[in-house]
Amino acid sequence: MSSTNIKPAPVAPASVPADGPAAAGSFKMFHRVLDWITSERMQLINITDRINEIVRKSGVRDGIVHLQSLHTTTAVFLNEWQDALVHDVKIFFEQTVAGEAYWRHNDPEHSDCERRNADSHLRGMMMGQTLSLQVRNSAVLLGTWQSIILAEFDGPRSRSMSVQVSGI
Amino acid sequence: MSSTNIKPAPVAPASVPADGPAAAGSFKMFHRVLDWITSERMQLINITDRINEIVRKSGVRDGIVHLQSLHTTTAVFLNEWQDALVHDVKIFFEQTVAGEAYWRHNDPEHSDCERRNADSHLRGMMMGQTLSLQVRNSAVLLGTWQSIILAEFDGPRSRSMSVQVSGI
Amino acid sequence: MSSTNIKPAPVAPASVPADGPAAAGSFKMFHRVLDWITSERMQLINITDRINEIVRKSGVRDGIVHLQSLHTTTAVFLNEWQDALVHDVKIFFEQTVAGEAYWRHNDPEHSDCERRNADSHLRGMMMGQTLSLQVRNSAVLLGTWQSIILAEFDGPRSRSMSVQVSGI
């Protein structure tokens, strides 16, 4: 079948650091909490620069940065940061989880939640609240078009993300 | 555009541990396998307490707990654990991947799988079988409303999850 | 409710390594970049063997292998590798994100992207470009039916994935 029709690519893109041998060193761990106040019910925020700043401060050269948004009605993921696409992403979430459908979580007979935010929960769950990215040469490893995006699905709210950098 | 209209929040929620400096220490790793017998075709299970018990036993104070369900027709993710919302989550999975649609995996002409579980595979794939969460002060870091949920999409079955705790 | 009706399973499957005590050791980190040239617009590639080969070479016995595809219009995830199911997975992506719908990212009035690949971005975002898996006894820990799958959503292209193995 066609899905096995693969040839090795000749060279890696210039932006990718060269392969390195196994490195052993003293294991380090660094931790910060980032806070935001969001201003809309559904809102996307490009947090790439703030994450890179934490990684630079951490003193970790090679390892993992782990992001964990501490709220069920948020998400964190990668995508290109372009105005037109950011608009499409919001449309996609509205289409995939219909806010105006019947949800038991929004029904006072079944739920004591007054926010009527079942759609926010389902969007957050589908996309996930955690993201692990590699750290290489004291920076977050990202492809040319990859930005780190925080999604607010039930704003405006005060939001926190725990960021942990570990490695050598 | 509105998505850049962000102000820093004044304070972190009380439940979030304060920022800490970089810590270096002896790297530790701990491993357990958790087992379940599920009782329904689609079933959600709150596994937060069992994961926290493993983290406490691990002796790791700060690090990562990695969960990996070992079955393609399961998933693990975060959400609020509320009866009404758990019901909505099941409805969402049924709507997003239609079980009664035509799937080649269920067609004896194309597949030797007799479980007719294409929907289970697609739901498990969409949600993912792995989850990494931070460990802080010998506990899983979770926001107030975040519970760890195991989803069974093709039960009743015997299921296993590999849990790895690593850090300092 | 039924979702709490859980009994502990009597035994773990034979393929799962037995529980081990906490292990401490010298932390190691290993890094490789994998490259592919894809041949179709949407294409699934089973990369399990190539990832296992890297893990074997890494010298890491117990730890984590982290995969990060460096392109927003790709994804990496787990599923069974069966021809009929691979076909269904493609159908699922086409149904969940409609390529022929109106997307602002494809509209020259709003976007300078000439690839008309909004659907590719949304599929990549939904599935994610990163995956963490446990390493046990110098191999990737995978359930019997779990294969590691790279998804191309905007081929044919040259693609790279950064693979990091860390642990003891």
CB spacing of C84 vs B104 below 8 angstroms: yes
What is the nearest CA distance from A77 to chain C, expressed in angstroms?
Answer: 7
Contacts of C130 in chain A (CB under 8 A): 78, 131-133
Report residue C78's pLDDT band, with 50, 70 and 90 as the boundaries.
very high
Which of these, A134, A16, A146, lies nearest to A77 by C-alpha position? Answer: A146
Residues B64-75: pLDDT tens digits?
A: 999 999 999 999
- pLDDT value at position B33? 98
d(CA C140, CA C138): 7
- pLDDT value at position C9? 42
Please determine, for residue A126, whether its predicted confidence score (pLDDT) is greater than 60: yes
Report residue A22's pLDDT band, with 50, 70 and 90 as the boundaries.
low
Average pLDDT of the residues in A138-150? 98
Residues C128-154: pLDDT tens digits?
A: 999 999 999 999 999 999 999 999 999
Residues C82-111: pLDDT tens digits?
A: 999 999 999 999 999 999 999 999 999 999
d(CA B52, CA C161): 33
If you write DSSP's letter for every residue of chain B in order, what string do you get?
A: -GGG--B--SS--TTSPPPEEEEE---EEEEEEEEEE--SSSEEEE-HHHHHHHHHHHT-SSEEEEEEES-TTEEEEEE---HHHHHHHHHHHHHHS-TTS--GGG-TTT----S--HHHHHHHHHH-SEEEEEEETTEE---TT-EEEEEESS-S-EEEEEEEEEE-
What is the nearest CA distance from B159 to chain C, expressed in angstroms?
Answer: 8
Who's near A6: CB < 8 A, 6+ residues apart?
A: C36, C37, C38, C39, C45
CB spacing of A111 vs B85 below 8 angstroms: yes
Average pLDDT of the residues in B21-29? 77
Residues A63-104: pLDDT tens digits?
A: 999 999 999 999 999 999 999 999 999 999 999 999 999 999
- pLDDT value at position C19? 54
- pLDDT value at position A138? 97
Most A CBs within 10 A among B5, B6, B62, B111, hence the mutation to make, goes to B6
User: Which tokens is B163 given?
Assistant: 């849990």
- pLDDT value at position B22? 61
CB spacing of A82 vs C105 below 8 angstroms: yes
d(CA C111, CA C122): 16
d(CA C160, CA C168): 26
* Identity of the residue in A27, A69, A111 whose CB atom sits nearest the CB atom of B168: A27
Average pLDDT of the residues in B110-118? 94
Average pLDDT of the residues in B32-50? 98
Please determine, for residue B31, whether its predicted confidence score (pLDDT) is greater than 80: yes
| B-chain residue closest to A43, CA distance | B3
d(CA B51, CA C30): 28
- pLDDT value at position B3? 40
* Identity of the residue in B59, B103, B129 whose CB atom sits nearest the CB atom of C88: B103
Average pLDDT of the residues in B133-153? 98
Strands B130-136 and B139-140: antiparallel
Neighbouring C-beta atoms of residue C37, cutoff 10 Å: 16
Higher pLDDT, C94 or A19: C94
Report residue A9's pLDDT band, with 50, 70 and 90 as the boundaries.
very low
Mean pLDDT, chain C, whole residue set: 90
Per the document, the length of chain A is 168
How far from chain centre, in Å, is Cα A108? 32
Please determine, for residue C53, whether its predicted confidence score (pLDDT) is greater than 90: yes
* Identity of the residue in C12, C145, C168 whose CB atom sits nearest the CB atom of B29: C168
Please determine, for residue C3, whether its predicted confidence score (pLDDT) is greater than 70: no
| Touching subunits for chain C (3+ Cβ pairs under 8 A) | A, B
- pLDDT value at position C20? 52
Phi first, then psi: what are they for A28, rounded to 5°? -125, 155
d(CA C75, CA C120): 10
Asked whether C69 and C159 are in contact (CB, 8 A), the reply is yes
| C-chain residue closest to B32, CA distance | C19
* Identity of the residue in C16, C24, C128 whose CB atom sits nearest the CB atom of B160: C16
Average pLDDT of the residues in A119-132? 98
- pLDDT value at position B19? 54
- pLDDT value at position B2? 38
- pLDDT value at position A20? 53
Higher pLDDT, C9 or A28: A28
- pLDDT value at position C165? 98
